[in-house]
Amino acid sequence: VYVCVRVWVHVELHHQLVAAVESCIHVEAVLSIDEMWCWLPYNLREPQTVEKIGLDIKRAIHDQVGPWINGSVGAAPNKWLAKMASKIRKPDGLLIINHDDLPEILYDLELRDIHGIGRGMELRLHAHGIHDVRALCNATRQQLHTAWGGVEGDRIWFQMRGKEIPEAETIRRSIGHSHVLPPEKRHPNGGLQVLHKLTQKAAQRLRSHGMLTCSYYLSLSYLRGGSWSNEMVLESTDDSLMLARAASHLWKQRPHHAEHLIKVSMVLGQLTHTRNYTPSLFADEDKLEKKSGEKIQALNTSMDKLVQKFGRQSIYLGGAHGALEAAPMRISFSHVPDLDIEKD
């Protein structure tokens, strides 16, 4: 039996889970739809206290969310090891890693179990003579630096030894959407309609973050292989109309001999916060143009309010009319949808 996923239910449960954990200890950051981390205050780091907090979290999930959802809790000297601890005891465990447990507690894991090691990195480690986690833990810092080809190897070396490595501040640099086209939308008109819907969703997200974009990137993939992409530089904007024009302009430049589309992707790049935006010193101070800009801003604000109150199909630019049911809200690995903005 196939059941269509109800994304909004997943998101609502996600917020219930965050609230359940928050009732036991402050949630420092949400990492994904099913993962979050909490910083332990210094006065709560005794093993018995940590275990009690972990059990309280599991009990809160059971009581506040439901008995059908389990949680794996990990605690360790740093966030990276805490994530590993939660993975070791999935799906319903509690594991506390102390400094004295390192690195032996990791030895029974496979290389691919280590956070940050995928298939490609595993092959690189093999090429450097590292075939299991024991060898990984016993490698020198320089060996891991060389294997990773940079400072990420140093980070792993320190993290496996319980050191807390400060993380660089995450800066949002782009907002994008993509959609694998259903058979009935794999013709040019269908692909363009989907592109306009993706563009309008991205524009609304852009405004919700208080940001402007300076570039529009379009990528097309074809059913029989191959792809095409192009990018357009823009004046700083968050205007749905201007971005829709950019989408149409780039669409006209695509190769017309390859008509069987399979995937449409778009990205708004070179983002900057509206508070950091400085208009050109040489811009023409035309009062009529300024008034027009204010009207466009008011239009976008009004559309956003209507979408939040009545749903995405209540108001939209005409280019997306034939794709209202396409590209529904989805959950990506690192992005939890905002139901007020993204719900269809």
Alpha carbons within 13 A on the beta-carbon side of 29: 8
In a domain, 166, yes or no: no
pLDDT of residue 286: 58
**Structural domain boundaries, residue 93:** 7-160
Does 60 share its domain with 121?
yes
Is 2 within the bounds of a domain? no
139 inside domain: yes
pLDDT for res 290: 62
Residue by residue, DSSP assigns 59-95 as: HHIIIII-TT----EEE-SSHHHHHHHHHHTTTS-EE
Q: How far apart are the first and last CA of the chain?
A: 24
Per the document, the length of the chain is 344
State CA 276 to chain mean position distance: 24
Give the total number of structural domains in the chain: 2
Its pTM surpasses 0.85: no
Q: What is the DSSP string of 153-174?
A: HHHHHHHHTTPPPPPPPP---E
Q: Domain for residue 197, yes or no? A: yes
Quote the pLDDT of residue 109: 93
Same domain, yes or no, for 124 and 184? no
pLDDT at 280: 64
Respond yes or no on whether the N-terminal peptide bond of residue 91 is cis (omega within 30° of 0).
yes
pLDDT at 282: 61
CA distance 236 to 279: 9
What does the pLDDT read at residue 328?
A: 80
Last residue within a domain, chosen from 131, 160, 189: 160
Alpha-carbon distance 89 to 124, whole Å? 27
Please tell me the predicted confidence (pLDDT) of residue 1: 79
According to the model, what pLDDT value does residue 288 have? 55
Q: What is the pLDDT of residue 152?
A: 92
Q: Within this chain, do residues 122 and 192 fall inside the same structural domain, yes or no?
A: no
CB 79 within 8 A of CB 87: no
Is residue 194 domain-shared with residue 232, that is, in the same domain?
yes
Q: CA dist 5 to 10, 43, 199, Å?
A: 9, 43, 23
**Would you say 36 and 29 are in contact if contact means Cβ atoms under 8 Å apart?**
yes
Which residues in the chain come in under a pLDDT of 50?
Answer: none
